[in-house]
């Protein structure tokens, strides 16, 4: 049996023209409400509930700096009510929008790693408090916005009692993560007092790697990787998605290619033996020795070619990602 953590970064948008309209921002970034239907977290949870799947929603509380705790409660409440897992996320871009509400004064930065250890402690403590005030259980896990964590982030999480981080991305060349781990580090390991749970990846052409994200791999590649991982069941797999990921690039309509990919994956997970979905609340990943090898799905020309075709069609129809 291999455990799959379906992680959904759930966040208001800080960079669209309608950024300052909370209702519009919620509709497009959280609920995914567009002219041809809905494809955000409510749709995602409905599909997963139908197939008996549980997910981890990494929710960003920092928009509360602009709109108050109610804006985060509107996100957290439905997730908790449907029995999914809520954990902590943080996009520090919101500090530049917060004005006088910035808990760090005038300090701003694209990534949490741009701040000192003390500032990271203060910011994470604020974010944790907002998430709890919004109705979430006390979080035990974190993922940095843009994956932009560093070793001080892990130390700050440990100081605040969070046991897990999932910001290390061995499958992304040029990742914003500055955690002192490399592309060969692909299993959960203990570092600076927390268990670092890497985002999974598969082998690509010419020694490259491809990260385990719904927009980055076809459902066929994800399924093949999970079957391959059953050979080493003590190593969990982590898949990334977003609250808005099933929409077009401009978030004006559904990306039907990704919608169908998500639905096919959920249906496959329900029936596939030896693969189960897990959460940090109910079945957190266990740290392994750093030398533990990870089951990396070998590159396959046909699978990659099919992905290229799907990506080309999706980019032409719905905007490049």
For 121, list phi and psi in degrees, rounded to 5.
-60, -45
DSSP 207: G
CATH superfamily to which 2-318 belongs: Glycoside hydrolase/deacetylase (3.20.20.370)
Which of 132-146, 159-173, 188-202, 225-239 has the lowest average pLDDT?
225-239
Tell me, what's the pLDDT at 308? 93
Calculate the alpha carbon distances from 286 to 192, 196, 228 in Å: 15, 10, 20
In 25-184, beta strands by DSSP E: 33-34, 37-38, 56-59, 85-90, 141-144, 164-165
**Radius of gyration, alpha carbons of the chain:** 19
In this structure, are residues 188 and 236 in contact, taking their beta carbons and an 8 Å threshold? yes
> Residue 149 CB: number of other CB atoms within 10 A?
28
Nearest CA to 76 among 28, 41, 27, 39?
Answer: 41
Q: How far is Cα 142 from Cα 137, in angstroms, rounded to an integer?
A: 13
How far apart CA 45 and CA 34 sit, in angstroms, is 17
Looking up tokens 């494809």 gives 39
The pLDDT tens digits of the residues spanning 233-256 come to: 789 999 999 999 999 999 999 999
3 three-state secondary structure: strand
Would you call 94 helix, strand, or coil by DSSP?
helix
User: Nearest to residue 222, comparing CAs of 310, 281, 282, 316?
Assistant: 310
The confidence band for 205, taking pLDDT boundaries of 50, 70 and 90, is: very high
pLDDT at 213 over 90: yes
- pLDDT tens-digit profile of 159-186? 999 999 999 999 999 999 999 999 999 9
- How many Cα atoms occupy the beta-carbon half-sphere of 108 within 13 Å? 11
320 has a pLDDT exceeding 90: no
Terminal-to-terminal C-alpha distance of the chain: 33
In 3D space, the residue among 26, 102, 128 whose CA is nearest the CA of residue 71 turns out to be: 26
Which of these, 318, 312, 165, lies nearest to 244 by C-alpha position? 318
With pLDDT > 70 as the criterion, what percentage of the chain qualifies?
99
Q: How confident is the model at residue 17 (pLDDT cuts 50, 70, 90)?
A: confident
Q: What is the pLDDT of residues 24-76, one digit of tens each?
A: 999 999 999 999 999 999 999 999 999 999 999 999 999 999 999 999 999 99
The pLDDT of residue 291:
84
Higher-confidence residue of 316 and 320: namely 316
């Amino acid at each position: 049996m291999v455990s799959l953590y379906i992680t959904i970064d759930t966040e208001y948008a800080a960079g669209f023209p309608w950024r300052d309209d909370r209702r519009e921002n919620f509709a497009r970034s959280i609920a995914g409400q567009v002219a041809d239907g809905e494809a955000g977290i409510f749709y995602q949870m409905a599909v997963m509930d139908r197939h008996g799947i549980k997910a981890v929603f990494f929710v960003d509380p920092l928009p509360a700096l602009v709109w108050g705790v109610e804006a985060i409660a509107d996100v957290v409440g439905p997730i908790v009510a449907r029995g999914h897992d809520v954990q902590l996320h943080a996009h520090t871009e919101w500090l530049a929008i917060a004005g006088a509400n910035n808990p760090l004064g005038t300090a701003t930065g694209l990534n949490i790693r741009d701040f000192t250890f003390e500032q990271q402690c203060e910011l994470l403590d604020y974010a944790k408090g907002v998430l709890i005030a919004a109705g979430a259980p006390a979080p035990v896990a974190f993922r940095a916005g843009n994956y932009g964590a560093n070793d001080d982030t892990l130390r700050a999480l440990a100081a605040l009692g969070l046991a897990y981080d999932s910001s290390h991305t061995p499958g992304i060349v040029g990742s914003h993560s500055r955690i002192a781990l490399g592309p060969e580090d692909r299993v959960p390991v203990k570092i600076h007092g927390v268990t670092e749970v890497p985002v999974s990846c598969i082998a690509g052409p010419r020694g490259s790697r491809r990260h385990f994200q719904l927009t980055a791999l076809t459902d066929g590649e994800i399924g093949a990787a999970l079957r391959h991982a059953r050979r080493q069941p003590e190593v969990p797999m982590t898949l990334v998605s977003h609250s808005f990921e099933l929409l077009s690039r401009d978030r004006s309509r559904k990306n039907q290619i990704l919608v169908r990919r998500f639905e096919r994956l959920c249906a496959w997970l329900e029936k596939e033996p030896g693969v189960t979905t897990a959460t940090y609340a109910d079945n957190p990943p266990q740290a392994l020795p750093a030398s533990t090898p990870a089951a990396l799905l070998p590159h396959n020309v046909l699978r990659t070619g099919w992905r290229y075709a799907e990506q080309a069609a999706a980019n032409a129809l719905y905007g490049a990602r």
